[in-house]
């Protein structure tokens, strides 16, 4: 039986360019084009096993007249919502310029173990030569995925059918992103599963017909639940869906073994923190959470990020904080609330275009959650004597001093002692651990005050950096 390349695309120019490229580069394969989601979904339901590869656009234009009636062409996400209810059988290309929609499609597919890749249409649709991306990026990706599938052909047909009971059984292994549903109605299961796939892409869903079945499953997986209960989480307060989708997408790629929790209001986050603060790896807070909304027929006030900071200021510092807000005055107020504490925090200025997430927020998260061991440091990692304060600030954060000394108090005590020794006798410690502790505590002192170091403070920080650089060079020579 011939394997078919299926494509969802509504632009005639793109379709023509794709057909030409397929005939030239992939003459041994059949291709079928659809300009709307309902038709391709209907085709997939009958021919899923014949599909070699699927390429999806997202935006399919407005409704049009068909057979004398108004016809809604849907969107590419409709096709993804169908695919995630099926076992993964072929790779998927997402060739859409709608980056926000693409993120949601990609997250949903990867959450259901489908292999997908993105190809970005990089020319204006009105340009004469707007199909260059089809001849280059799209065709190259198509070729690579087809070759990859050919090499791994042992995983199709019979093998997948054998795996089907295990793959589709939601009751096998508990997950950190799992929703449990107790309902014995097949129709309800289908409806709930479809809706949850839209609202919580990438989450698994466990359906149980009765309480005895659920209790037996919980009993069998007690060990796994215990492991999940001890796991730590990256916790984020934000109510913007586009931000949340993009943050989740990047965090799940960068920290696949960590749990990511999102809260869109302060009261619920506070309730969670009062029980689980010790489980936090990092907390990132927005300030503005929007107006009040209706919940359970009552007005619900989402609060703001300052309320969370007010609580954290009364607790011992157990993880780093990031303030990611566009409200400058509110952000300064949140920082000032922590001025008399030992919480380690940093800020990222949010902007509407979301570029700050990849350019500033994500690198800071990586910096805070992937500290550098002494043996991993090179001389080039350490800021030069005349570097700007920001570089010293960020380098200091590559050391988790509180964890290294297993005590916030001991870390602070050693850092303060090092500062006094230098102030009185121009003496610096010899060990990597104490030098990096001295730099971290000096950094915290100025950062909490929202100030750059004065001349004396900067001289001390530069001296620590120089001593570290000398030790690293000596270590590498050995």
At residue 448, the pLDDT reads: 85
Structure tokens that stand for 318 in this block: 């157990």
What pairs with residue 322 in β-bridges? 284, 346
Taking alpha carbons only, the member of 50, 57, 51, 111 closest to residue 79 is: 57
Cα distance between residue 386 and residue 389, in whole Å: 9
Please report which confidence band the pLDDT of residue 378 belongs to, taking 50, 70 and 90 as the band edges.
confident
CB 244 within 8 A of CB 268: no
pLDDT tens profile 332-354? 999 999 999 999 999 999 998 89
Contacts of 271 (CB under 8 A, 6+ apart): none
- 102-113, pLDDT tens digit by residue? 888 888 888 787
pLDDT tens digit sequence for 167-222: 334 445 666 667 888 887 777 777 777 677 666 655 677 788 888 778 777 777 76
The residue-averaged pLDDT of 281-305 equals 91
Contact 246, 354 (CB under 8 A): yes
The per-residue pLDDT for range 382-415, each reduced to its tens digit, is 998 888 999 999 999 999 999 999 999 999 999 9
Q: How far is CA 298 from CA 178, 239, 301, 307, 329, in A?
A: 28, 19, 10, 21, 31
Whether residue 22 is predicted with pLDDT greater than 80 in this model: the reply is: yes
Dihedral sign for Cα atoms in the order 358, 363, 368, 373: positive
Who wins on pLDDT, 476 or 121?
A: 121
CB 15 within 8 A of CB 8: no
> Which pLDDT value is given to residue 168?
38
Confidence of residue 230 (pLDDT cuts 50, 70, 90): low
What's the CA gap between 125 and 51, in Å, rounded?
Answer: 28
What average pLDDT does the chain have?
Answer: 85
Beta carbons within 8 Å of 93's beta carbon, 6+ residues apart: 53, 54, 55, 56, 116, 117, 118, 119, 138, 141, 142, 145
Confidence at residue 458, expressed as pLDDT on a 0 to 100 scale: 94
**Contact (Cβ atoms closer than 8 angstroms) between residue 134 and residue 14:** yes
Which tokens is 38 given? 């309902």
Cβ 33 vs Cβ 59: under 8 Å: no
Of residues 381 and 309, which shows the higher confidence score? 309
Distance CA 260, CA 388 (A): 33
Report the pLDDT value the prediction gives residue 226, as an integer from 0 to 100. 61
Taking the C-alpha atoms of residue 323 and residue 290, their distance in angstroms, rounded to an integer, is 17
pLDDT one-digit tens code per residue, 44-101:
998 888 899 999 999 998 999 888 889 999 999 999 989 988 878 889 999 998 888 8
Does this model's pTM top 0.85? My answer is no
More confident site: 156 or 378? 378
Per-residue model confidence (pLDDT) at position 4: 92
323: tokens are 């303030």
310 burial level (CB within 10 Å; 0-12, 13-18, 19+) = middle
CA 407 vs. chain centroid, Å, equals: 30
Token pair of 121 as six digits: 């249409």
Q: Which of 110, 152, 117, 151 is nearest to 137 (CA)?
A: 117
* Band of residue 124 on the pLDDT scale cut at 50, 70, 90: very low
| pLDDT confidence of residue 125 | 45
SS (H, E, C) the chain: CCCEEEEECCCHHHHHHHHHHHHHHCCCCEEEEECCHHHHHHHHHHHHHHEEEEEECCCCCCCEEECCEEECCCCHHHHHHHHCCCCCCCCEEECCCCHHHHHHHHHHHHHCCCCEEECCCCCCCCCCCCCHHHHHHHHHHHHHHHHHHHHCHHHCCHHHHHHHHHHHCCCCCCCCCEEEEECCCHHHHHHHHHHHHHHCCCCEEEEECCHHHHHHHHHHCHHHHHHHHHCCEEEEECCCHHHHHHHHHHHHHHCCCCEEEEECCHHHHHHHHHHHHHHEEEEEECCECCCCEEECCEEECCCEHHHHHHHHCCCCCCCCEEEEECCHHHHHHHHHHCCCCCCCEEEEECCCCCHHHHHHHHHHHHHHHCCCCHHHCCHHHCCCCCCCHHHHHHHHCCCCHHHHCCCHHHHHHHHHHHHHHHHHHCCCCCCHHHHHHHHHHHHHHHHHCCCCCCHHHHHHHHHHHHHHHHHHHHHHHC
Q: Tell me: pLDDT of 127 over 60.
A: no
The 10 Å CB-count burial string (b at 16+, else e) for 241-265 is eebebbbbbbbbeebeebbbbbbbb
């Amino acid at each position: 039986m011939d394997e078919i390349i299926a494509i969802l695309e509504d632009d005639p120019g793109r379709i023509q360019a794709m057909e030409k490229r397929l005939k030239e580069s992939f003459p041994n394969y059949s291709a079928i084009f659809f300009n709307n989601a309902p038709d391709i979904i209907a085709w997939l339901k009958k021919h899923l096993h014949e599909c070699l590869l699927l390429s999806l656009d997202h935006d399919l234009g407005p409704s049009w007249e068909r057979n004398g009636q108004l016809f809604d062409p849907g969107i590419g996400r409709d096709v993804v919502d169908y695919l995630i209810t099926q076992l993964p059988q072929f790779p998927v290309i997402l060739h859409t310029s709608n980056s926000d929609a693409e993120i949601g499609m990609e997250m949903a597919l990867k959450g259901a173990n489908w292999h997908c890749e993105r190809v970005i249409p990089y020319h204006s649709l009105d340009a004469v030569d707007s199909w260059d991306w089809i001849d280059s990026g799209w065709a190259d990706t198509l070729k690579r995925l087809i070759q990859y599938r050919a090499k791994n052909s042992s995983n199709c047909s019979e093998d997948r059918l054998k795996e089907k009971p295990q793959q589709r059984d939601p009751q096998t292994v508990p997950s950190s992103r799992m929703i449990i549903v107790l309902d014995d109605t097949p129709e309800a299961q289908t409806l709930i599963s479809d809706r949850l796939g839209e609202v919580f892409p990438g989450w698994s869903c466990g359906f149980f017909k009765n309480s005895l079945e659920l209790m037996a499953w919980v009993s069998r997986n007690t060990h796994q639940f215990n492991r999940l209960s001890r796991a730590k989480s990256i916790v984020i307060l934000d109510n913007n869906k586009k931000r949340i989708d993009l943050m989740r997408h990047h965090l799940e790629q960068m920290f696949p073994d960590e749990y990511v929790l999102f809260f869109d209001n302060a009261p619920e986050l506070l309730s969670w923190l009062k029980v689980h603060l010790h489980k936090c790896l990092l907390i990132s807070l927005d300030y503005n959470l929007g107006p009040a909304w209706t919940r359970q027929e009552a007005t619900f006030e989402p609060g703001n990020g300052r309320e969370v900071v007010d609580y954290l200021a009364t607790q011992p510092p157990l993880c780093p904080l990031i303030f990611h807000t566009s409200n400058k005055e509110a952000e300064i107020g949140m920082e000032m609330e922590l001025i008399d504490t030992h919480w380690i925090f940093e800020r990222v200025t949010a902007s509407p275009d979301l570029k700050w997430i990849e350019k500033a927020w994500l690198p800071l998260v990586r910096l805070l959650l992937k500290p550098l061991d002494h043996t991993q440091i090179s001389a080039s990692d350490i800021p030069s004597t005349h570097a700007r304060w920001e570089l010293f600030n960020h380098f200091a954060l590559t050391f988790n001093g509180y964890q290294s000394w297993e005590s916030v108090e001991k870390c602070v005590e050693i850092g303060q002692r090092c500062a006094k020794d230098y102030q009185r006798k121009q003496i610096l410690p010899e060990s990597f651990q104490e030098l990096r502790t001295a730099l971290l505590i000096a950094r915290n002192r100025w950062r909490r005050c929202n100030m750059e170091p004065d001349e004396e403070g900067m001289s001390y920080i530069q001296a620590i950096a120089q001593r570290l650089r000398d030790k690293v060079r000596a270590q590498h020579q050995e």
